[in-house]
């Protein structure tokens, strides 16, 4: 009996999360002896949500598990690679290519797309917040807004997108990091007094956990901040999670708290903000002195990237449907200026149309006849790769 309404690893691996029309398609092809038809299928992003000018490709680690053992070849951009909706010429840009007997992977289109659509949306929003927050600390707080079964994926995608840490235990395992958190209002409410609760935290919790006092439970943030600074010698930061009914001008509150802390010689005490944050508020609060951010829903509930998979070639014959470009393609990237150019597969490597530098082929072998051939980097390495690319990108 299923306790939670989520598909098991086995069900996903057996394509039991597929759409039934693929089951019918496989039945028909088998009945007509067409299941061994050799096809080239490509995955393209279509237009990106909210006019994003780029996306972060995420979900490959799980995709490899899905395709391991399926006797087809998969070529893909590496996890963490930026991608565009179209290349510098305006041509749709494939992020992945699958080659083989269509009958072998027909059922896997649905789970394949699900694994990259949601994770890439989360990683991209996280990367945009990363650009805005510059080197300020970002903690992923969003798993409580989504089905708990997704917490490892959500926190991993937020981390890959550039967040510094994640709040969930499963997310920390998936990112090979330590989970990070401060204290909930519940602790102060149950202890019944702010100072007693902060001190209890200080007495009980391991030394290496930063002392971050929540300062908005019962009274004004400024006054609770001063109380925390005066009562906690090891205070690292104060967290302002001001309820929307009291938020008014949150930036002004942060500025005021900074002033009162500095006036009393607590320049070392940082300001951590959370609660309903998004790109606009992270920018504004960072400018007035916030040092760290707990971002939840805005990232965990990111719009998905609507990748689609399309057959573009059968036994060398061009066959793309309307709206898609025919034939096997290669994506060439100038790693110097991150310009992409899409060319028919057999075309020689081009020079970068913008800076004339050499270009690199982006669709790299991932799975060969069902065997994983790529060395998969760990989340920290992927995050580093993302941060390097972000240096060259703007949000526009």
Handedness of CA 220, 238, 250, 254 (dihedral sign): positive
95 versus 282: smaller Cβ distance to ligand PCP = 282
Nearest approach in angstroms of CB 140 to ligand PCP is 10
Nearest approach in angstroms of CB 192 to ligand PCP is 15
187 versus 320: smaller Cβ distance to ligand PCP = 187
Measured CA to CA, the distance from residue 100 to residue 71 in angstroms comes to 7
113 versus 126: smaller Cβ distance to ligand PCP = 126
283 versus 364: smaller Cβ distance to ligand PCP = 283
Q: Return the number of other C-beta atoms located less than 10 Å from residue 377's C-beta.
A: 16
96 versus 277: smaller Cβ distance to ligand PCP = 277
Nearest approach in angstroms of CB 278 to ligand PCP is 8
186 versus 318: smaller Cβ distance to ligand PCP = 186
Measured in whole angstroms, how far is the alpha carbon of residue 64 from the centre of its chain?
17
Measured CA to CA, the distance from residue 297 to residue 121 in angstroms comes to 13
Measured CA to CA, the distance from residue 27 to residue 103 in angstroms comes to 9
Nearest approach in angstroms of CB 184 to ligand PCP is 3
104 versus 130: smaller Cβ distance to ligand PCP = 130
Nearest approach in angstroms of CB 181 to ligand PCP is 8
Q: What are the structure tokens assigned to 83, written together? A: 């991608």
Measured CA to CA, the distance from residue 256 to residue 250 in angstroms comes to 10
**Closest-CA residue to 238 (of 207, 195, 270):** 270
Nearest approach in angstroms of CB 209 to ligand PCP is 16
Nearest approach in angstroms of CB 213 to ligand PCP is 12
Rule CB under 6 A: which residues touch ligand PCP? Answer: 141-142, 145, 184-186, 241, 274-277, 294-298
112 versus 273: smaller Cβ distance to ligand PCP = 273
Residue nearest to ligand PCP according to CB distances in the complex: 296
116 versus 282: smaller Cβ distance to ligand PCP = 282
Nearest approach in angstroms of CB 282 to ligand PCP is 10
Nearest approach in angstroms of CB 290 to ligand PCP is 14
57 versus 272: smaller Cβ distance to ligand PCP = 272
């Amino acid at each position: 009996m299923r306790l939670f309404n989520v598909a098991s690893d086995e069900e996903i691996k057996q394509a039991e999360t597929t759409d039934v029309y693929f089951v019918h398609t496989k039945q028909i092809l088998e009945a007509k002896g067409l299941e061994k038809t050799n096809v080239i299928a490509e995955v393209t992003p279509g237009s990106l949500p909210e006019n994003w000018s780029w996306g972060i490709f995420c979900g490959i680690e799980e995709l490899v598990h899905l395709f391991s053992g399926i006797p087809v070849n998969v070529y893909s951009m590496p996890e963490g690679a930026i991608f565009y909706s179209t290349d510098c010429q305006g041509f749709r840009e494939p992020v992945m290519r699958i080659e083989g007997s269509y009958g072998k992977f027909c059922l896997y289109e649905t789970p394949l797309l699900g694994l990259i659509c949601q994770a890439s949306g989360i990683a991209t929003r996280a990367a945009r917040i990363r650009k805005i927050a510059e080197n300020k600390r970002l903690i992923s707080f969003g798993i409580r807004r989504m089905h708990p079964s997704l917490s490892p994926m959500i926190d991993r995608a937020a981390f890959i997108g550039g967040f510094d840490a994640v709040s969930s235990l499963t997310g920390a395992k998936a990112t090979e990091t330590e989970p990070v958190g401060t204290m909930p209002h519940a602790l102060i409410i149950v202890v019944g007094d702010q100072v007693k609760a902060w001190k209890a935290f200080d007495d009980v919790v391991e030394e290496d956990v930063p002392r971050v006092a929540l300062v908005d439970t019962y009274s004004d943030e400024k006054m609770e901040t001063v109380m925390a600074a005066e009562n906690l010698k090891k205070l690292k930061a104060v967290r302002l999670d001001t309820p929307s009914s009291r938020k008014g001008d949150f930036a002004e509150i942060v500025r005021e708290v900074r002033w009162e802390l500095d006036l009393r010689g607590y320049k070392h005490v940082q300001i951590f903000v959370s609660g309903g944050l998004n790109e606009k508020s992270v920018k504004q609060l960072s400018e007035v002195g916030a040092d760290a951010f707990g971002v939840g829903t805005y990232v965990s509930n990111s719009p998905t990237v609507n990748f689609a998979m399309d057959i573009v070639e059968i036994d060398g014959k061009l066959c793309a449907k309307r709206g898609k470009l025919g034939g096997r393609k290669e994506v060439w990237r100038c790693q110097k200026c991150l310009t992409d150019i899409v060319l028919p597969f057999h075309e020689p490597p081009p020079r970068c149309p913008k800076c004339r530098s050499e270009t690199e082929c982006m669709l790299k072998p991932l799975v060969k006849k069902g065997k994983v051939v790529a060395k998969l980097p760990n989340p920290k390495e992927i995050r580093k790769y993302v941060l390097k690319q972000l240096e060259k990108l703007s949000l526009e």
